[in-house]
Structure 1
Amino acid sequence: MGEATHASGGVPVARALLSQVHPVFMLPPLAASLFGGVFAGSVDPSAAAAHVTALFFAVYTAHVKDGYVDFHVRDEDDTHPLSAPTCRRALAGSTAGFLLALAAVWALAGPGAAALTAPTWALGYFHAPQLDTNTVGATLGYPTGIALGLLGGFYVQAGRLTPAVVGLAGVFLLFLSGIKVIDDAQDFDYDRSIDKRTVAVVLGERGAHRAAYALMATGMVAVVGLALGLRGIPPSAGLAALVFGAIALLARRAEPELATMLLIRGSYLFLATLVAAVWFRPLG
C-alpha cells in the first residue's frame, strides 16, 4: 500500500478535504439541477440553493467513499490525501450536510422534492464497493444521479414533473451511460484482472465501444424527437444533438482516455446548448 497524508493543522486538513472536490465530476450534477430550475420557467433561489447544496454533499460523499475504498480497502491506489479516520469523519460530515440540505429541500419544496433528492446520497455512498463491481451499477450510477438532479431541480421549482422533463432526464441517462462505458474501458485490463464486470469486461473492448455509441446515438435521436414532438421543449433544443454528435464523431477513433475527455466536454456543450435553447427560445 502507498502512503496516505496524515495532515495536521487547520490549513493542511482543509486542503486535504478540498482535494476530494473533483470539478469535472462535481459540476454536471449541480448544473443539471440548475438547468431543471430554468426549464421549470421560474427559479426560487432558496429552493434552488438547497437542492444544489444537497447534490454537492451527495457527490462529495461519493468522492470520499470511492477514495477510501480504493486506497484503504482495495489497495488499488498508490496514494491518498486522507487517512482512514479522516475519511470516516469526512463521510460523517458530508452526510450531515446532505441531511440538513435535504431537510431544507423538504421545507421549501415539499416531500416529493425530497424523495427525488434522497437517492442521490445513496448512489454516492454505495457506489464503492457495492455498485461499481457489477455491470449495471458501474454504468448507470453516475448518469442516474445526474438524471435525478435534473428531475429534482425541476420539481423544487414546479412542484411536479412533466413528460418533457422526464424525457430529457431519460436522454441524459442514455448518453451519459454511453460516456461512462467509454470511461470504464480505460481500466479494461485491470478491471478484468479483479473480475470487476464493467461493460468492457462483459462485452469486450470492441463490443463496449459499439454499445457506448449506440447509447449516445439513441440519446441524440431522442432529444431531437422530443424537441420536434413534445410540448414544452423548444425545437431549437435539437441543436444540442448536433453539437454533441460532432464531438462524438471526433472521439470515436480516439483512445479511451482522450475519448472520455472529449465526450465529457461534449456533454458540457450539450447542456449549455439546451440551456440556451430553453432560456432564449430562438425558434419561438
Structure 2
Amino acid sequence: MALSRRGRGGRATAGAFWSQVHPVFMLPPLAASLFGAILARDVVLLVATIHVLAMFAAVYTAHVKDGYVDFYVRGEDDGHPLTERGCRVALVASTAVFAGCCLVLYVLVDAVAVALTVPTWLVAYHHAPQLDTNPVTATTGYPLGIALSLLGGFYVQAGTLTAVAVGFALVFLVLLSGIKVIDDAQDYDYDRSIEKRTVAVAVGPGRAYDVAYGLMATALLVVVAFAVARVFPPSVVLAVLAFAAVAVIARRADPTIATMLLIRGSYVFLAVLVASVWFEPLARVW
C-alpha cells in the first residue's frame, strides 16, 4: 500500500515524510534542549546530540499525529501528504527513534534522564485528540514539552537539577503559554464552530489577549526577580528588554501577525538568554 498521497516512488514518499518537519515549531524544543546543556556548562556532545534527537522524534510524533487526527478523524484539514498507513508508519518510526534515544540515555546517564525525557513523547502523542480540546492542556502542552526539553537537556549533562534550570523551565512554560493563547485565537471562529475549547473560545478573544499578555508579563517579571535574587545572572534582563519590545509591537497587531512576531521574539529571547548565561556581560557591574 502507498505511503504518500502525492505520488508513488521513493522521492514522493520521502517528501511526504519530510513534510511533517515544521521548522518554526520544531526549532524551539531542540533549542531548549541545547540551552539546558549550555546551562550545565560542561557539555558532552554525544549526550547532547542524543537528547536533541529524542526531542526531534517527540515533536515529529506530535506533527504526524495531529495531522492524522485533523484530516482522517475530524475531517478539519483539506488534505494530508501521508496516507493513513503512511501516518502509522511515521508514528512507529518516530516512536522507535525516541525509544532508542531513551535507551542510550539510560546507558550513558541514568533512569532519571529517561524519566525526564519520556513525558515529552507522551505530551506529543496525546496532544490530539486528547489534550487539544481543553483550554488548559491545549495551551500548555507545547510549552510544557519545551520546559521538559530544557530540564532534560540540563540533567543529561549535569546529572542533577538546580534552581537555575528549574527557574528557566518555569519561565518558558509561562511565556510560551501566553504566546500559545494568541496563536489559538487565530482560529477562534472555526474552533468555536466545532466546539473546540481553546482559551479564546472559553473566555472570548478580548479576555484571551489579556490572559496571554498577563502570562508573558508574569514570565518576564519572574526573570527579573530571579536576577535580583541572583538565581539567574544579571545580564538576563537584556533578554527581558528584547522580548518586551517585541511584545509591545505585537499587542497592537491581529492574532496572525502577533503570533508571528511573538514566536520570533521568543527566538530572540532564547538567543539573548544563551549569550547572557554563557558570557555574563553584566556580571562585573551588578
* TM-score under structure 2 length normalisation: 0.96
Cα drift, residue 104 of structure 1: 1.1
- C-alpha separation in 1, matches of 2:174 and 2:31: 18
- C-alpha separation in 2, matches of 1:155 and 1:254: 38
- C-alpha separation in 1, matches of 2:23 and 2:106: 27
Q: Judge conservation of contact 2:6–2:12 (CA < 8 Å) in 1.
A: no
2:120 is matched with 120
**Which runs of structure 1 show a deviation greater than 4 angstroms over 4 or more consecutive aligned residues?**
none
1:195 is matched with 195
2:107 is matched with 107
Partner secondary structure for residue 129 of structure 1: coil
- Per-residue CA deviation, residues 43-92 of structure 1 (Å, 9 max, x unaligned), is 00111011001000000000000000001111001111011110011101
| Pairs within 5 Å for 1:8-87 | 8-87=8-87
- C-alpha separation in 2, matches of 1:245 and 1:98: 36
1:277 is matched with 276
What are structure 2's unaligned runs of at least 5 residues? none
- C-alpha separation in 2, matches of 1:25 and 1:170: 19
1:171 is matched with 171
Q: Judge conservation of contact 2:33–2:51 (CA < 8 Å) in 1.
A: yes
- C-alpha separation in 2, matches of 1:119 and 1:25: 18
Letter in 2 for 1:102: C
What are structure 1's unaligned runs of at least 5 residues? none
Cα drift, residue 10 of structure 1: 1.1
The total of aligned residue pairs comes to 280
- Per-residue CA deviation, residues 172-195 of structure 1 (Å, 9 max, x unaligned), is 000100000000000001111111
Q: Judge conservation of contact 1:139–1:181 (CA < 8 Å) in 2.
A: yes
- Per-residue CA deviation, residues 214-239 of structure 1 (Å, 9 max, x unaligned), is 000000010111122133x2100111
Q: Judge conservation of contact 1:164–1:230 (CA < 8 Å) in 2.
A: no
- C-alpha separation in 2, matches of 1:98 and 1:230: 36
Cα drift, residue 200 of structure 1: 0.3
- C-alpha separation in 1, matches of 2:152 and 2:23: 21
Q: Judge conservation of contact 2:6–2:16 (CA < 8 Å) in 1.
A: no
- C-alpha separation in 2, matches of 1:263 and 1:107: 39
Letter in 2 for 1:260: T
Q: Judge conservation of contact 1:6–1:83 (CA < 8 Å) in 2.
A: no
Letter in 2 for 1:266: G
* TM-score under structure 1 length normalisation: 0.97
Q: Judge conservation of contact 1:7–1:16 (CA < 8 Å) in 2.
A: no
Partner secondary structure for residue 113 of structure 1: helix
| Pairs within 5 Å for 1:152-163 | 152-163=152-163
Q: Provide the aligned C-alpha RMSD in A.
A: 0.9
1:216 is matched with 216
- C-alpha separation in 2, matches of 1:7 and 1:244: 44
- C-alpha separation in 2, matches of 1:104 and 1:172: 27
- C-alpha separation in 2, matches of 1:8 and 1:159: 47
1:96 is matched with 96
Letter in 2 for 1:252: R
Q: Judge conservation of contact 1:51–1:105 (CA < 8 Å) in 2.
A: yes
Partner secondary structure for residue 189 of structure 1: helix
